[in-house]
């Protein structure tokens, strides 16, 4: 099961309604952060997510609304006597900017902080991978793909019976080794399981104008979290951001299952933005949400379920 926590959903500056960008993915007990705008530590506290379970932070780019929360996160980890290393990933200049952060004030972390500068890279971590790709924002900036590894198909009871197999250690050995000898026969894992199940795929663009590379990396994603700062071209002006319509077109062309419209400009109220986005996305036939702070998407059995963490009183 994968959970996506929208800790901050707006762009440029925080408002009373919502904070600046931060997204937490919780997967098998680990929390992976994508961006950490100012106030991210507060948002994690409200969402009851422990910074001690964060091992990796992926920064899309170094505009303040996407990284100024790093210092509070690292200092809190230090106050709580963190020992395990923290890994921070980002585009060109990440090492320089993070080192400046770590050397400011009367503060030095008592644990290792490893900084990684990425281009377009494929990183492998156990049961999942993180891919980085270049986006269009006028400065070095990356989007990221979380891709769970494909899993084996489920054991089929009728096939197990056909080969005289039952639940127990023998199935564990078959799963580990891929094939076993049983009752004088060689049995392969694919002989007794259904089709392989595709791992979940989540794509986060950070700030970007519309880009063909985003469409390529978002192909058939289960969730695309795309910059959709403005409702119209006129509002955007010359900035390196996307409109709702541009985000919807990327999602439609990439055959994405669900689009989350992200980084809403502070000029729009939630209701105003939702109304405008609904008209565009429905016209283009795109399944979408406009997440609010503390909304949580849970992916289970191939489907997304949306809830709001605070409204449930958790």
* pLDDT 10s digits, 23-41: 999 999 999 999 999 999 9
Instruction: Tell me the pLDDT tens digit for each residue of 80-135.
Output: 999 999 999 999 999 999 988 888 877 788 899 999 999 999 999 989 999 999 99
Domain-embedded: residue 146: yes
The domain boundary, picked from 191, 214, 241, lies at 191
Q: Which two tokens stand for residue 23?
A: 């997204």
User: Do 179 and 245 belong to one domain?
Assistant: no
Domain-embedded: residue 69: yes
Paired strand residues for 5? 24, 296
pTM of the predicted structure, to 2 decimals:
0.88
What is the pLDDT, as a whole number, of residue 236? 81
Give the length of the chain. Answer: 314
Across the chain, mean pLDDT equals 91
Paired strand residues for 197? 151
137 marked among binding-site residues: yes
263 marked among binding-site residues: yes
Domain-embedded: residue 313: no
What is the pLDDT, as a whole number, of residue 246? 96
Counted domains in the chain = 2
Measure the N-to-C terminal CA separation of the chain; round to a whole number of Å.
Answer: 19
114 marked among binding-site residues: no
Domain-embedded: residue 84: yes
- Is pLDDT above 50 for 314? no
User: Do 35 and 128 belong to one domain?
Assistant: yes
| Strands in the chain per DSSP E | 2-8, 22-27, 30-34, 54-58, 86-90, 113-117, 122-125, 128-134, 142-148, 179-182, 185-188, 201-204, 223-227, 259-262, 288-289, 295-300, 303-308
Q: Per-residue pLDDT averaged across 274-296, rounded?
A: 94
Closest-CA residue to 231 (of 197, 267, 198): 267
Q: Per-residue pLDDT averaged across 64-77, rounded?
A: 93
User: Do 173 and 273 belong to one domain?
Assistant: no
309 marked among binding-site residues: no
100 marked among binding-site residues: no
Q: Is 83 helix (H, G, I), strand (E, B) or coil?
A: coil
User: Do 95 and 147 belong to one domain?
Assistant: yes
Give the structural domain span for 170. 157-191
User: Do 144 and 171 belong to one domain?
Assistant: no
Q: Which of 152-166, 178-192, 243-257 has the highest mean pLDDT?
A: 243-257
Q: Which two tokens stand for residue 105?
A: 């004030």
Domain harbouring 276, CATH code? 3.60.15.10
* Burial zone of 118 (CB within 10 Å; 0-12 exposed, 13-18 middle, 19+ buried): buried
User: Do 59 and 33 belong to one domain?
Assistant: yes
Domain-embedded: residue 314: no
Instruction: Tell me the pLDDT tens digit for each residue of 12-22.
Output: 888 888 999 99
81 as an active site residue: the answer is no
Sign of CA dihedral 148, 300, 218, 197: positive
How far apart CA 24 and CA 34 sit, in angstroms, is 6
How far apart CA 218 and CA 223 sit, in angstroms, is 8
Q: Looking at 35, 65, 227, 293, which residue is catalytic?
A: 65
65 marked among binding-site residues: yes
Checking 228-234 for CB contacts under 8 A at 24+ apart, the result is 228/261, 228/262, 228/263, 228/264, 228/277, 229/11, 229/263, 229/264, 229/265, 230/265, 231/268, 231/273, 231/276, 231/277
User: Do 50 and 178 belong to one domain?
Assistant: no
What is the pLDDT, as a whole number, of residue 84? 94
66 marked among binding-site residues: yes
Closest-CA residue to 198 (of 152, 136, 236, 244): 152
Q: Are 155 and 171 in contact (CB under 8 A)?
A: yes
Closest-CA residue to 223 (of 240, 206, 204): 204
User: Do 45 and 170 belong to one domain?
Assistant: no
CA distances from 150 to 130, 179, 185, 190 (A): 14, 19, 28, 14
Domain-embedded: residue 164: yes
CA distances from 148 to 129, 142, 214, 215, 313 (A): 6, 20, 19, 19, 30
User: Do 237 and 254 belong to one domain?
Assistant: yes
- Is pLDDT above 50 for 161? yes
User: Do 116 and 176 belong to one domain?
Assistant: no
User: Do 22 and 163 belong to one domain?
Assistant: no
Q: How confident is the model at residue 313 (pLDDT cuts 50, 70, 90)?
A: low
How far apart CA 180 and CA 102 sit, in angstroms, is 53
- Is pLDDT above 70 for 259? yes
The domain boundary, picked from 166, 191, 216, lies at 191
Paired strand residues for 148? 128
User: Do 165 and 93 belong to one domain?
Assistant: no
Domain-embedded: residue 280: yes
The domain boundary, picked from 174, 191, 208, lies at 191
């Amino acid at each position: 099961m994968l959970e996506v926590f929208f800790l901050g959903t707006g762009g440029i500056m925080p408002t009373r309604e919502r904070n600046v960008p931060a997204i937490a993915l919780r997967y098998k007990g680990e929390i992976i952060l994508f961006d950490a705008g100012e106030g991210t530590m507060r948002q994690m506290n409200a969402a009851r997510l422990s910074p001690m379970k964060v091992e990796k932070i992926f920064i899309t780019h170094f505009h303040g609304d996407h990284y100024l929360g790093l210092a509070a996160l690292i200092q809190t980890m230090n106050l709580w006597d963190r020992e395990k290393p923290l890994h921070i990933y980002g585009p060109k200049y990440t090492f320089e900017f993070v080192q400046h952060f770590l050397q400011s004030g009367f503060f030095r972390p008592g644990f290792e902080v490893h900084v990684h500068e990425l281009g377009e890279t494929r990183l492998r971590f156990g049961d999942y991978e993180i891919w980085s790709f270049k986006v269009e924002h006028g400065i070095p900036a990356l989007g990221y793909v979380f891709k769970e590894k494909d899993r084996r198909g489920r054991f089929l009871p009728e096939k197990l019976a056909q080969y005289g197999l039952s639940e127990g250690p023998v199935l564990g050995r078959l799963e580990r080794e891929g094939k076993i000898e049983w009752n004088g026969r060689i049995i392969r894992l694919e002989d007794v399981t259904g089709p392989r199940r595709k791992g979940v795929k989540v794509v986060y663009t950070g700030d970007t104008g519309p880009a063909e590379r985003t469409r390529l990396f978002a192909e058939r994603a289960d969730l695309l979290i795309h910059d959709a700062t403005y409702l119209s071209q006129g509002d955007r002006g010359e900035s390196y951001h996307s409109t709702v319509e541009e985000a919807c077109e990327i999602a439609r062309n990439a055959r994405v299952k669900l689009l989350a419209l992200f980084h809403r400009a502070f000029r729009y109220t939630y209701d105003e933005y939702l109304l405008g986005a609904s008209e565009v996305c429905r016209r283009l036939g795109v399944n979408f949400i406009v997440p609010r702070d503390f909304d949580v998407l849970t992916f289970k059995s191939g489907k997304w379920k949306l809830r709001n963490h605070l409204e449930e009183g958790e």
